[in-house]
A = this chain, B = another copy of it.
């Protein structure tokens, strides 16, 4: 499962965290020295909720799902991780535990950097600290609005929102191969898998999307956005 092969250094890496740009060459080398790399197959768990958050994770390639294991064995998917984003979770500065799990959706190559090292860099470099503050803030804001949407929108609106999220944030296209099962789409949109199936059927019948099972194509984006907004 884990394959320690340090091919590239952080300096040459194009998939790194934006905030690494705030580091000096020496600081970046320091991070790089404390980095190791591992590959995962679809379904494999990269981070497990409850374990010590001793490392930050960055995906070099592939996608992974971020989810909380909640009450009664129900899962809540928080979002989808992709390269160039820190995966650390808000536990880092609170109790040094992961508060969610991360599992590969595709083949994934990931870098692990010791959390102590990143925390040390926060001390040394205030630009880096500020960058991290910005990063956490963006994510917190995202969670906030997702919370609002789950609390106040009905199922149709939430699923429309999810389809748009996948198009805009994950695939950068209105025409994509669905990474997620109906079950997982439900976990991401806060509904039962059967509800996902039923609503997708309605969207298809109304020619708002085309759904050739693993392929999704958004046909009427405005209409989908309207459903997302008012639903």
What is A's interface to B at a CB cutoff of 8 Å?
68, 70-72, 74, 76, 78, 90-94, 99, 119, 122-127, 129-130, 132-134, 136-141, 143-144, 146-148, 150-153, 190, 229-230
Contacts and interface: CB of A to CB of B under 8 A. Distances in A.
A150 B150 CA distance: 9
Across the A-B interface, give the 10 residue pairs with the lowest CB-CB distance, nearest first. Answer: A129-B129, A90-B140, A93-B137, A93-B134, A90-B137, A140-B140, A147-B147, A90-B141, A123-B126, A70-B152
21 contacts: A70-B152, A71-B153, A71-B229, A71-B230, A90-B138, A90-B140, A93-B134, A94-B138, A94-B141, A119-B130, A124-B126, A129-B129, A129-B133, A136-B136, A136-B137, A139-B140, A140-B143, A143-B147, A146-B147, A147-B147, A150-B150
Select the residue from A92, A124, A130 with max chain B CB neighbours within 10 A: A130
A129 B147 CA distance: 27
Nearest to A72: B152
Nearest to A129: B129
Given A129-B133, A140-B136, A152 B76 contact: yes
Nearest to A191: B151
Copies held by the complex: 2
B99 A152 contact: no
Residue among A94, A124, A133, A139 with the highest chain B CB neighbour number at 10 A: A133
Contacts of A139: 140
A162 B130 CA distance: 34
A150 B152 contact: no
Give the one of A71, A124, A153, A190 with max B CB within 10 A.
A71
Q: Which of A122, A134, A151 has the most CB of B within 10 A?
A: A151
B93 A130 contact: yes
A126 B122 contact: yes
B134 A133 contact: no
A91 B139 CA distance: 11
A163 to B, nearest CB: 18
